[in-house]
Structure 1
Amino acid sequence: MLTMLVVDDELYALKGITQGIDWSDLPIGTILEAESVAEAKAHIERQTVDLLISDIEMPEANGLELLRYIREASPQTLTVFLTGHARFEYAQEALHMGCFDYVLKPIDHDVLKGIVARAIEEVERRREQADFEKKLDDYRRQWVSQLPILVDRFWRELLEGRFGRSSDRLDREFAQLDIPLTAEKGRVLPILLSVEQWDVELDSRDESIMEYALRKAAAETIMGERAGTVVQDPGEFSLGLLYLGESDTPDRQALMGRCRQFVQACRDYFHCRVSCYIGSVVSVGEVPAAVERLLQLERANVTASQVVIDAAVGGEEAQGGQSIALPSFLEWGTLLDNGRQDELVRAIEATTDQFAREAAGRETLELFRYGLLHLLYQAAFRAGVSIYEALDPSDLGDSQAIRSPLALKTWSVRVVRKCAEAFQDKMRDSSAIVAKVQSFIQDNLQAELNRDDIARSVFRNPAYVSRLFRKETGLSLTDYITQCRIERAKRLLAETNDKISRIAEDLSYVHFSYFAKLFKKMTGLSPQEYRKKHQIMR
């Protein structure tokens, strides 16, 4: 409930407002009265006043003096002025100092009540904004003091494939980190949170802070009371992980509703555009592959923005434990990811030679072939390549591959070599994309560049382009644009006599003071100092 203070040196006018109007249907808990500015100040010193209704013309000290005092002592208080004289200079000064409204006496009580109702809406809006800003400050302090946290690091390592196939190790980690899962029966529902565009300009540090705040907000909004976490993947995207028991069945419609609330909150409070991709329920060991499927879906989405997509394909069951000893395909996948194909080929040859020596049966050869195919599918997802770009259908369906250990060796080496070559081509394509992005930015420094426009220039998803650019250059798109503009400004300052304000404007800096401050921050000199120094040196 709010507190309202009414100030008027005319007692009848004062009582007419406090007692002659029915305020019961508005959220006003306390109504205070004051017949002078001094008495009003005393009220404000003793308690919080949310709304002030005051006569502007009073003996000794007038309402404008009271407003000046409020701006210092109680800036959250909204003020409505009443006056019997239409003096423009009073209204001008009152509005300049931030009064909410300014009306002439006599005023109809219903009109005044309507003004107060609007003022109350503004008070509540400011309270919500203040609460949000306080929460954001709390998140910022947590980000500084708590990173990295153990749970976040654990999921990063699992997604990077550092845990191998050891169920015992996973169970120890789950117990130590109080994660309600087991390696054998635990299930996870992954949710990819894709930041498509920031609607405000952020440097790398501020973007990291805001992304941390987004993850905290996602944990509160999407996870709610359910067990789970939101982490930052090594690929620099955010990932929600909902923990599920063996018999848990998530309400996907309710989950989509919470994701839509999160998307809306990002637009309203965090000044960014976000989409959510909800995956299938998978076992712990299948989480990396499930995340790759979501990333593939995100990369394919080049048109829809701020959407929630349920990517579940359903019915996928993990195969049970195997009694036959096979190599660690997860470790082999790491070799392929890191370009160590020769080492992988040697391991394949050693394994298939052992199959030959031990006269391995058809079932062992089939299991090996299926395991290697699964490895290649996962590696292709991680590389952003369709398996059909790397292999022919005849490679995938070659039934003769399991005729013998020698045939299996020949087939395995061939498909691994072909996949490794396709992945290398993809890496070169990625470098080409970054080069095109850099060229587009260089050619459009005078424009209001944003991530959507940049991504459109290379026909890719904005979030994917942003991550790829940072991965290859070490810079965010925003930092690279700023760097290029300042370098262009340095050249123009040294080589031309154009006005500094014109140079700033041509580089899309509307506010010269911002340009000058940024230029000095990056060069150590003001634009004037830089021009004087470098034109003398020519």
Structure 2
Amino acid sequence: MFNLLVVDDEKIAVKGITIGIDWEPFPIGQIYEALDVNEAKLILAQNRIDIMISDIEMPGANGLQLQEWVRTNSPHTETIFLTGHANFEYAQQAVRLGSFDYVLKPVDHDRLQDIVKHAIEKIKEDQEQLDFHETYKMYYSHWVNELPSLVEKFWQELLGGKIPVNEERLSRNFQMYDIPLQMTSTIYPILISVENWKEALNARDEEIMEYAIRKAAAEIIVVDQLGCVIQENGSTLVLLYDVEGNQPSLSDIKARCEAYISACHRYFQCSLSCYMGEMTPLLKLSAKVGDLFQAERNNVTRSNCVLMENETDQPLVNKPQAPTFADWMVLLEAGKKAELVARIQENIDRLQHADIGPETVEAFYYGLLHVVYHVLHKKGLAVHDMLPHQELQDYGNATRSLNQLRNWAVRIATISCDYMNSHLKGVSAVTAKLCQYMDEHLDEELSREELAASVYLNPAYLSRLFKKETGLSISEYSLKIRMEKAKKLLAESNDKISYVAEQAGYSHFSFFAKMFKKYTGLSPQEYRKNFQG
């Protein structure tokens, strides 16, 4: 609905319009009356007036002066002027002041209704146009805010091969996302690899910190250059555009990367390296980024530095062998945490001063895993009760660098020793020897008397001693180690279940299946399906 204001110093003229004209067919809500300019201003200030019909000649301030005030204070109001004089100067001023129309008195009611009808149509059109512009402005603002994410998604899809590398498609995307590149453009790619967080972070905190290092890369490395920072395969990738007027030198880029590494070390408490690629044509960018990721995988000794592409391709020499782990087994079995951690630290220190490749790191990783699995299994303890599988076998993070390998190895050694000490605390040499004997003869049906003879004790006394020190009877302990071995084989191999039963010391498959379900609540088939699934 639209509001109407009629302004005239003659009351009868006002009433002739407000009452004398049938406004029922028009979408008119409120009709206001004013007998002078001051009264009209008050109404306009307190109410939304869409159409104003005003006389020009009035005592004091006239209608043209009122229109000047309306232009500033109620610019959406459409004004229709009335006057008893056919003065051309009035018409000129009315047009100059933005009035909608100009009508001579005496007013023809049909003519005035027609003018008001057109004024309403204009107001509707103006409102629709205003709504369109406001909507466009809102969505444009959203577009601008989302543009960095859209640019990042574009580069991720291009590097991942999801966007065909043809001139028409790329030119359209460059124009859409305001990327100042052409098919012939070249780019400097820089891979940022976070090697270690000094403080332990949960998944949410690590995601926040990685966002922070991407923002810092934009502020320190890209800064006033044309380019962007994206997330690629879990790492941060900087792309500097080599276009006219924006041609950074390699020495300048390297200096910025060094400043960036220093800032991240200071403010984010992390160590990281920057792998700098050479100036690369757009068509070969995906392959070049792949080369940088390969260089990151090959580098396990250098940290907190900028590595140029030609520096990461040098062959490695004098690769030391991975350490032997027999003495580590002895230390873990004895629960000597300090000595085991010291051995790990010494070995990694030696590796850091040698030229090694990722295969040496892998050998160290799998060697320590073997030590943990072997010793705990020997003691009849379940590895998965000590630590979830995904935390124990964290290959992706543990083998990225020697620093991360050190953190993982020390953590696993510490947890394993603590677990050993807490579960075998107070166990005598006799009980420990009996546990070892039972573990080594798992595939045999041993009687209590045979077990007692192996440690030279009376069977009844041995049973009481074993129960006192372990909390389990000999038969319960035997069942436990058999079931734990079966669980391990079911989870980590595809061997037939009948073979698993034999390895766990059961000659009859049906009896094994019965005991396994009683122990775990699942059949062997269900356990394998659930765990491997």
TM-score under structure 2 normalisation? Answer: 0.35
Larger Rg: 2
Q: Which has the higher contact order (CA 8 A, sep 6+)?
A: 1
